[in-house]
Amino acid sequence: MKKHFLTSLQFLACLLFILPCCSVYGSEDQPFLAGSQLPRFTLPAPDAQQTLSYLGLTTTAPYTISQIGSKLVLIEILSALCPHCQANAPVLNRLYQVIQNDADLASDVKIIGICVGNNKTQIDAFKKTFKVSFPLIPDENMAIAQAVEVKETPTMVLVTHSGNVLWSHSGVIEDFDGLLKDLRENLKKP
Number of H helices, E strands in the chain: 7, 5
109-154 pLDDT tens trace: 999 999 999 999 999 999 999 999 999 999 999 999 999 988 899 9
Name 167's bridge partners: 158
Full-model pTM: 0.84
SS3 label, residue 81: coil
SS3 label, residue 71: coil
At residue 118's C-alpha, the angle toward residues 44 and 2, to 5°, is 135
Domain harbouring 27, CATH code: 3.40.30.10
The set of residues, in sequence order, having a beta carbon less than 8 Å from that of 52 and lying 6+ positions away, is: 46, 60
Question: Please, what is the average pLDDT of the chain?
Answer: 85
* Domain carrying residue 145: 2-188
Instruction: Name the packing angle between helices 83-100 and 2-22 (round to 10°).
Output: 40
| Residues of the chain falling short of pLDDT 70 | 1-31
The number of folded domains in the chain is: 1
